[in-house]
Structure formats: C-alpha cells, structure tokens
C-alpha cells in the first residue's frame, strides 16, 4: 500500500492529495446531514406544541442542510472526477514503465511460460489496479470516519450500539477476505488458460491464420476449445459469486435484525418521553447508514486485499533484475576490433533437455566473411544470437575485440552489430520508418538517406507500387497495404544497410525472394559485407559461396570448415547437403 501511494503521488501529487481531502469531507457529511435533520425535526415538533414559536430560526438549519447535502453531492462527483484523472495520468506513466521494464529483459525471458503468465497479469491498463487500491483504501478511510462518528452518537442514544455494532461485522469481514484470497488464487492459476483463450480468439480474428484455418476447416474445433476454457473459468467465477451472495445475505439478515431491535428500543423510549422524536429519526437514519458503512468497509478491505496482490505483481515485474541482458559495464575498446572468438561454448535453452550448442570453439577474424550451413536445428541461429548477446552461454565464453561480451556494455556492443533476423520485424509503421529503424536517431528525419538504402536493397519498384510511397503504412493491422514476403525481406535488408556497423549478421537473408531478386541482392550483400566482419546463415549454396570460409554445423557442433571447393572435395556432410540441394534444383 505504501509503495502504491508513493508511486501514484510521484506521478500526480495534486490529484492524490485532492482525492484524500475529498474523502475526509465525505466521511463527515453524512453525520452532519443527520444532525441537522434531527435539529429540524425537534424544532418543528417544539413549534407545533407551542414550546417554541420562533419559526424564523428554521432558516439557518435549512441553510446547513443545503450545505451538507451539496457537500455530499460534491464529494461523490469530485471523487469520480479525481479518480478518473488520476487513473489516466497513472496509466500513461505506468504503462510506459512496464514497456521500459520489458525492454530491459533478456530475450530468454519471453521464451518461458512463467514469464508469459506474469505478463498476462499485467495486460490492459496497469494503473487501474493502483488507483483502485487507493480508492478502496480511501473508501475504507471515509467509511471508517462515518462508523466512528455514527457509533459515538448512536451510543449516546443507545449504549448497546457501542457494544454490538463493530463486533457484528468482524465475521463478515473475515469471510470477504477469505473470498478475496480465493478469487486471486483462481486468477493466478488461470493465467495460462486465459492466454490460451486469447490465442484461440486470435486464430479466428487475425489475418495471420485466416486462410489456413478455413482451408483446414478447424474453426469449429477452435471454437469448441474456446468454449471449454471459458466454461471452466466461468464455472469457478460463478461459484465464487454465489458464495459472496449467500454470505452477504446472511450478514444483511443478522445486522438488520440487531439494528431493528435497537431501533425498537429507542422508539419505545420516545413513546415514554425518555428521548426526543428527532433522536428516533436520527437513530433510524444513522443505523441504516452505519450498516452500509460497515458493509462498505468490509467489501473495500477485501477488494483492496485483492488489488494489493495485483499491485505486488506489477511491482515485482518493474523491479525484476536483468543481469544477463545488462551484461557488464565495461565500455567498448577504442579502436573497436570486430574480432570474434568462441571458446568451448555450450548452451541449453531453459526447459530443454538437450543442448543446442556443445563445446563449440570458433574464431572469426576482423573483416572476414563466413557462412554457416547445416540442417534445421543444428544450432546456427542459436550461435549468432549468442554472438549478439541475446543469451549467455551455459559454459565457455564469447570474446569480442578481446573482451568477454558478458563484461562489455551490451547496448554499446549491439550498436556495433547489424542483424537481419530469420524472423525479421514487420513493423506496423510507414515504409520510411521501417527502414529508418536501422539507425533511428540518425535517419528519422533523413529521407534522402532512407531512399538511398531502399535503392541498395532494390526496393524502388516496390515503392512505386505503394499507394503513398515511403509514407505508406505497412501491414493491415492499422493500414490497408500488406507487402509480400519478399518485399518485407527487402525492407529488412534495407534496414541492415541503414545500420553501418562493423559486424554484420545475416540469417537467411534471401529466403523469401525469387531467383532474380536473389541474384541482385547477392551482389548488394557482397558490397554490404565489404570491410565488415560478416556472418551469413543460408540454405542457398549460391548465397554462401560469397563467404571466404564456410562452417558446417551438425547437432550443435562445427563438424567441417573450409571453402566451397575444399568442402566438396572433402566429400563429407557439406558435400551431401550440396548434392541434395542440386537434386532439388534439378527437380524444380
């Protein structure tokens, strides 16, 4: 709770203080209204019985009643306004904080189901939980003021109220807290199921799966899975709702029975002339308000407890350590040498039984172009991701420019790397932005350079067909133009051209382009690699022939290396892959 208050206050101190002040006023206005009403009733009775004939004195009481009623209306409206403003302000800042915290996490973090479950709990407007917690706390505070003041005045009229009122609601409070803990436990356990629900929904509502789902005719199966998961979650939620309903009804019956008995005693005292009619009316109104306040405290406390668990999940995420992603603090040496050396490197993905890399050693000289070939699953992409610092080796070390990359500042190191990923980004942004992301600080306002890099990637013809040229919004998520897979890959290569870094990594750079485009890109890639330390992964032997040295990987190890001619003469694994490739070409 203290962390929540500090966090929200730091974001909007004026709104936070205003919400607290309004809640204090809201705690006092009900008592003020009832006291004025008691005065009015007693005054009118005295006037009617001739004990007091000064009817003009009713004007101040009416003014006080109007002020109290207006204050209560103001409190209701002001709390809603301040809470909405605070929630909007907090959502803006805290959503950005969640994004920044996610950006600090290593790639491996997003490949673990526990991490994805944690992120599932943070979906939506993350600040809502914090503002709700503060609102619940202030609701308890405001209702607490009402309970204390009302019980004090009620006890003066009927002493038993002080003994029965508060103890009466303690079992109900315990029940609501237990129910809240159960609801939160259900939510935690259902995180994976909710992700599967969202996944099933996306399969029938996104363009990515639309064609294949219809071709396979599996839509009814997906809908059935969705209904089953929703039914499981819904049944558990319904059970909790029924528990809450019966518990609340039991409290209502008990509390109303006790309060009605107390009211009957006060009313009987008025008949006997032992108390005023105003006290009877005050007692009736105050008892009803007291019961509502006690119930409000109970529900707000239980709801607040539930919110604290969600807030704790947010706090834990924002404070997650990210040691692997941060690497070290050692600045890059000057001058920087793009020399890479792997010494006994092994790596196993979290949760995997078999290693993806096993005791791998490798040296790449500055300015050298190497190609890595091998079957799917041989460890090619894993190796280059380790070289870029996306993962830390399970054993061994990777040294760049003579230093272990886990000692270097990884953000600085990555600025020295240009990478075309196998699963390259298809950003829902303009074509110009997609290219400029390669070196955003330098290119965001440099259209001439963007066009130059696009030309080098042979995008000119594609740009001419786009409805708004370089300003065309790509992808159908927010726009109306979806480039082909080959055009997307050319955009990714243009992005690599835009980052003029000394280390270049190309993971299947021509996988989605035709033979003619591949030949054109091949010439450009040769120019792009000139003077850089280049690592090329490809299944196309026409592409790997540009390399000065070819590494052949199998089951996480380098089993052969040499030039294209040397490896063919060796007659080993590379020669087998090449022969199979040639047979495929002949068949085509």
277 vs 414, higher pLDDT: 414
pLDDT band per the 50, 70, 90 thresholds, residue 86: confident
Q: What is the mean pLDDT of residues 437-462?
A: 88
Helix, strand, coil abundance in the chain, percent, nearest 5: 65, 10, 20
Q: What does the CA dihedral 270, 275, 281, 283 come to, rounded to 10 degrees?
A: -110
Fold type of domain 426-500: Rossmann fold (3.40.50)
CA–CA distance, 430 with 180 (Å, rounded to integer): 47
Dihedral of alpha carbons 217, 219, 224, 226, sign: positive
Q: Which two tokens stand for residue 199?
A: 């996944």
**pLDDT single digits (tens) 563-578:** 888 888 898 888 888 8
pLDDT of 235 reads: 80
**pLDDT single digits (tens) 249-271:** 887 787 777 777 777 777 777 77
pLDDT of 25 reads: 85
Across all residues in the chain, what is the average pLDDT? 80
pLDDT of 55 reads: 52
**pTM flag (> 0.85):** no
**pLDDT single digits (tens) 530-551:** 778 888 888 777 777 778 899 9
Of the candidates 532, 498, 525, the residue with the CA atom closest to the CA atom of residue 509: 525
pLDDT band per the 50, 70, 90 thresholds, residue 36: confident
Is the Cβ–Cβ distance between 19 and 86 less than 8 Å? yes
Of the candidates 179, 92, 174, the residue with the CA atom closest to the CA atom of residue 130: 92
Is the fold of 327-416+502-588 the same as that of 426-500? yes
CATH assignment of 327-416+502-588, among 3.40.50.300, 2.60.40.1120, 3.40.50.920, 1.10.3720.10: 3.40.50.300
Fold type of domain 2-320: ABC transporter transmembrane region fold (1.20.1560)
The total of other beta-carbon atoms located within 10 Å of residue 63's CB is: 11
Type and span of the H or E element at 561: strand 557-562
CA–CA distance, 461 with 470 (Å, rounded to integer): 12
> What residue segments make up the domains of the chain, in order of their start?
2-320, 327-416+502-588, 426-500
pLDDT at 124 over 80: no
Of the candidates 342, 405, 349, the residue with the CA atom closest to the CA atom of residue 372: 342
CA–CA distance, 385 with 379 (Å, rounded to integer): 10
């Amino acid at each position: 709770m203290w962390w929540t208050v500090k966090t929200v206050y730091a974001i909007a101190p004026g709104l936070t203080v205003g919400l607290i002040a309004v809640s204090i006023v809201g705690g006092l206005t009900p008592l003020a209204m009832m006291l004025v009403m008691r005065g009015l009733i007693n005054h009118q009775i005295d006037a009617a019985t001739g004990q007091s004939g000064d009817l003009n004195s009713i004007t101040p009481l009416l003014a006080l009643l109007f002020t109290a009623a207006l204050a209560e209306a103001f409190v209701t409206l002001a709390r809603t306004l301040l809470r909405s403003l605070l929630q909007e302000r907090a959502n803006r800042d805290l959503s950005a904080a969640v994004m920044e915290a996610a950006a600090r996490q290593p790639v491996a973090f997003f490949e673990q189901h526990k991490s994805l479950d944690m992120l599932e709990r943070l979906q939506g407007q993350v600040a809502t939980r914090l503002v709700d917690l503060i609102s619940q706390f202030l609701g308890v505070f405001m209702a607490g003021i009402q309970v204390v003041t009302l019980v004090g005045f009620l006890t003066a009229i009927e002493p038993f109220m002080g003994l029965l009122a508060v103890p009466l609601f303690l079992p109900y409070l315990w029940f609501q807290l237990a129910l809240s803990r159960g609801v939160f436990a259900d939510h935690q356990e259902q995180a994976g199921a909710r992700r599967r629900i969202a996944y099933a929904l996306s399969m029938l509502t996104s363009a990515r799966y639309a064609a294949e789902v219809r071709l396979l005719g599996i839509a009814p199966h997906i809908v059935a899975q969705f209904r089953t998961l929703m039914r499981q979650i819904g049944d558990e939620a319904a059970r909790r709702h029924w528990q809450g309903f019966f518990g609340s009804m039991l409290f209502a019956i008990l509390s109303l029975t006790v309060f009605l008995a107390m009211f009957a005693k006060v009313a009987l005292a008025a008949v006997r002339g032992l108390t005023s009619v105003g006290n009877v009316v005050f007692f009736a109104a105050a008892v009803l308000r007291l019961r509502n306040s006690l119930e409000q405290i109970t529900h707000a406390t239980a709801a607040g407890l539930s919110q604290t668990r969600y807030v704790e999940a947010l706090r834990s995420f924002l404070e997650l350590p990210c040691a692997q992603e941060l690497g070290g603090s050692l600045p890059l040496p000057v001058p920087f040498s793009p020399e890479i050396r792997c010494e006994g490197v092994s790596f196993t993905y979290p949760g995997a039984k078999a290693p993806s890399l096993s005791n791998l050693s490798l040296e790449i000289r500055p300015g050298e172009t190497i190609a890595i070939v091998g079957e799917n699953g041989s460890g090619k992409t894993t190796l280059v991701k380790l070289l870029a610092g996306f993962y830390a080796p399970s054993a061994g070390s990777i040294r760049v420019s003579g230093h272990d990359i886990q000692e270097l500042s990884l953000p600085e190191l990555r600025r020295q790397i240009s990478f075309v990923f196998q699963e390259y980004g298809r950003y829902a942004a303009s074509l110009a932005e997609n290219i400029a992301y390669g070196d955003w600080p330098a290119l965001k306002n440099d259209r001439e350079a963007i066009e130059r890099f696009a030309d080098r990637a042979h995008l000119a013809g594609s740009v001419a067909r786009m409805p708004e040229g370089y300003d065309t919004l790509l992808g159908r998520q927010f726009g109306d133009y979806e480039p082909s897979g080959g055009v997307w890959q050319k955009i990714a290569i243009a992005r690599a051209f835009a980052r003029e870094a000394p280390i270049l990594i190309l993971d299947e750079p021509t996988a989605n382009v035709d033979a003619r485009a591949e030949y054109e890109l091949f010439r450009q890639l040769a120019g792009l690699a000139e003077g850089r330390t280049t690592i090329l992964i490809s299944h196309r032997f026409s592409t790997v022939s540009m390399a000065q040295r070819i590494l052949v990987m199998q089951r996480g190890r380098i089993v052969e290396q040499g030039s294209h001619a040397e490896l063919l003469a060796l007659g080993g694994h590379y020669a087998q892959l090449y022969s199979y490739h040639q047979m495929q070409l002949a068949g085509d």
